[in-house]
Amino acid sequence: MSSLVEQTAAELLRRLQASEVSATEVASAFLDRIASHDEKIGAFLSVWREQALERAADVDRRRAAGKPVGLLAGLPVAVKDVFCTRGELTTCASKMLEHFRPPYDATVVEKIEAADGIILGKTNMDEFAMGGSTENSAYRPTHNPWDNERVPGGSSGGAAAAVAAQMAPLSVGTDTGGSIRQPAAFCGTVGLKPTYGRVSRRGLVAFASSLDQAGPLARTAEDAALLLEVIAGHDPLDSTSANAPAARYSQTVSQPLEKLRIGIVREHLGAGLDAEIAAAVEEAIRVWKDLGAEIQEISLPHNEYAIATYYIIAPCEASSNLARYDGVHYGYRTDETKMLAQLAAERKAAEVNPARLEEIDTPLVRMYRQSRSEGFGAEVKRRVMLGAYALSAGYYDAYYLKALKVRRLIRQDFDQAFAKVDVIMGPTTPTPAYRLGEKVADPLASYLGDTYTVSANLAGICSLSTPCGFTQSGLPIGLQLQAPALEEDRLLRAAHMYQTATDWHLRRI
């Protein structure tokens, strides 16, 4: 029998239900694994050892007494540090929220706990979920478990690394432009971005509200289906949550799909794609043909504009959302005594020129500016600036409004494609995991890595990444599957089918 941490959530759940193992033993095994491995990986920002063991003991007691237990009863879950957890640090990997303890739980957290999932701790991420490498964390970078010199992807890098390094069987992340799927691809796990609105955003610290969506990371499609079943569903406290019944994903995930029609975007397999990834995707196409799928070439003509569209819309929404960090209500505030002394010195220096006096900030405005500049990291400042610029007088039509129009064209491309095919398949990322530091100085290069993922967020459809191979140097490769809005069931069943014919998802570090 393999050790507990190597097992999938489904295997663990079966053994928990058969009383072959206790929730306390399972939680201990993963907490010990974190203690021995996370110093090197850096997947967690906080570990909830005591609470986890208490909750596990409670599940064991209820199970032994024959009382009802939830769907996840005794399964450990890692939670990205972007979800509010009542009374527990929720930092978004930002200095701005270093000491922030929310007064309420995110709906996703409430649902995991109501299902008796055992939260192990909060995972590392790019600050405020902005980035694709987890290097933008204000606290520490996360290292890719397959090669510690490389990034795990991001922004849910800690979430993916925790699963890949067997420090959690399940984790929950968020995806605004690829932030679940890209780290899943880089770390060799499954990652699902549900349809916009499928999972409640209440208590999820906002980055870009029309694009943000929470979803599961796991080793298998079956495990992702289980966690999605727990967190999905309408939430009256999130008025943008989809008022549509969520399926019993874990019950249907193993049912194969007959005569599946798969669309391939030829342009996505050409220029700009790493040769080893291209070969792995071609091999996946062959596997699907053996599984009886019909492969069709389709076109998404506006996809080449997706990144430009995204890097207008997301920063615009971010600049608005992050206005709440004002040094007043919660979060970081600059040293006021120093700030007032600095202002006084500026006023004194400007006395010779009254016109310059006019330009000096009021104490309140300077407090805002100084607090935000000291509390935010470089990438967050860049995006807030980009958004503020694009929304400022004279630029709104050329940037924001234009991007919203192209967004509709991107969506229409998907509508037309899904009239012909059931799912669209291709690479998740143009390259495998890159080295730490490699793209830090070049934000645009890092943005271009989102080329295959951002359009799903813009269109609001669901999309998943599953392992489909390894490079010669041993780095995981991700296969992206996309399905129409609210068709997570189809996506998970397709991924499960693929996983019955391949064993890439079973490889362990």
Partner 1 sequence: MALTPEKVKQVSLLARLQLSDAELELMTRQLGRVLEYIDKLAEVDTENVAPLAHAMELSNVFADDQVAASLPREEVLANAPKRDDACYRVPAVLGD
Residues labelled as active-site residues: 80, 155, 179
Q: Least Å distance between CB 159 and partner 1?
A: 23
Q: Least Å distance between CB 450 and partner 1?
A: 12
- Sheet with strand 462-470: strands edge to edge: 44-47, 118-123, 76-80, 170-175, 213-218, 190-193, 462-470, 476-483, 423-427, 261-265, 294-298
Under DSSP, is residue 110 helix (H, G, I), strand (E, B) or coil? helix
- Judged by CB, which is closer to partner 1: 249, or 332? 332
- Judged by CB, which is closer to partner 1: 35, or 385? 385
CA distance linking residue 100 with residue 149, whole number of Å:
31
Q: Are 417 and 300 in contact (CB under 8 A)?
A: yes
Exposed / middle / buried, residue 86 (Cβ in 10 Å: 0-12, 13-18, 19+)? middle
Q: Which two three-digit tokens encode residue 480?
A: 């992206």
Q: Least Å distance between CB 158 and partner 1?
A: 23
CA distance linking residue 318 with residue 331, whole number of Å:
17
- Judged by CB, which is closer to partner 1: 123, or 334? 334
- Judged by CB, which is closer to partner 1: 166, or 446? 446
CA distance linking residue 229 with residue 217, whole number of Å:
13
Q: Which amino acid is at 338?
A: K
Under DSSP, is residue 192 helix (H, G, I), strand (E, B) or coil? strand
CA distance linking residue 444 with residue 21, whole number of Å:
49
Q: Least Å distance between CB 94 and partner 1?
A: 14
- Residue with tokens 């490889």, as numbered in its chain: 507
- Judged by CB, which is closer to partner 1: 76, or 197? 197
Q: Least Å distance between CB 216 and partner 1?
A: 20
CA distance linking residue 78 with residue 72, whole number of Å:
13
CA distance linking residue 118 with residue 55, whole number of Å:
6
